[in-house]
Amino acid sequence: MTLSAGEIRRNMTILLDGEVYSVVQFEHRSAPKAPPTLTLKVRHLKTGNVLEKKLNANQKLTAAPTEKRKAQFLYRDAGSFTFMDSQSFEQFTIAAEQLGDDAGYIVEGDTIEIVFYQDAPISLEVPPSVTLTIARADPGFRGDTASAATKPAFTNTGVKVNVPLFINTGDQIRVDTRTGHYLGRAE
């Protein structure tokens, strides 16, 4: 399936130069008196390397033939994540390098969609926001709440998030998976 520059989305899998990439970021630029360009920040799905590609915006891209399956996250080993397919109950692992930053937004027991290419798991699709537990946060001090001050905190998955001063260790918060920003307390 061919795609135009306007159809490119984040986490979409595309074929470039015979290799499979996942779109991390994209920017369509149209400068005066110059042809429009498409700047793609892509992750090579086999190696996990992130690189930037500049293409002519009129160039057609090819979508990689991928399949999505629901799977439950079971546990994390040294450098790999183990999942179980929700339909066949088969277990499989994905290297941490393949998951990139998305690895910090999954918790044991979560059911998420895994993207497969040629029957091999290549990436996962995390929801736009997730609920995480604060594992470590410095206490806020009285009087520091007059402004919108924040402090760094670390979640149970290792993600560093700037949170308001009233958030403490053990609190559950919602985090935007696209930006890594604090959205609010979990309800």
Parallel/antiparallel/unpaired status of strands 66-77 and 129-137: unpaired
Q: How many domains does the chain have?
A: 3
Do 108 and 156 lie in one domain? The reply is: no
CA pair distance 165, 143, nearest whole angstrom:
10
- Residue that terminates a domain, selected from 125, 146, 175: 125
- pLDDT reported for residue 24: 83
Residue 11 DSSP SS3:
coil
pLDDT of residue 123: 78
* 52 and 7 belong to one structural domain: yes
Give, for all 187 residues of the chain, the pLDDT tens digit. 788 777 888 778 888 888 888 888 888 888 788 888 888 898 887 777 889 988 887 888 888 888 889 999 999 988 899 999 999 999 999 888 778 788 889 989 989 998 888 888 877 888 889 999 999 988 776 655 556 778 899 999 989 999 988 888 999 999 998 888 999 998 7
Quick one: pLDDT at residue 141? 66
Let me know whether 114 and 157 are in one domain. no
- Given this model, what pLDDT does residue 61 score? 86
Residues 55 and 7 in one domain: yes
For residue 99, the surrounding DSSP H or E stretch is helix 96-99
> Do 121 and 70 share a structural domain?
yes
pLDDT at 43: 82
Domain of 52, CATH number, reads: 2.30.30.30
Q: CATH number, domain at 148?
A: 2.40.50.140
What single-letter DSSP state applies at residue 138? P
Distance, CA of 54 to chain centre: 22
Of 46, 63, 80, the position where a domain reaches its end is 63
| Shared domain check, 165 and 149 | yes
Say which DSSP state 49 is in.
-
Co-location of 121 and 157 in the same domain: no
Residues of the domain holding 46: 2-63
Q: Do 31 and 77 lie in a common domain?
A: no
Q: Is the domain of 46 the same as that of 82?
A: no
Task: Write down which residue in 63, 88, 110 finishes a domain.
Answer: 63
Same-domain check for residues 75 and 116: yes
Q: Given this model, what pLDDT does residue 149 score?
A: 79
Distance, in Å, from the CA atom of 55 to the CA atom of 183, rounded to the nearest integer, reads 35
Question: Do 120 and 152 belong to one domain?
Answer: no
Taking the model in full, what pTM does it have?
0.71
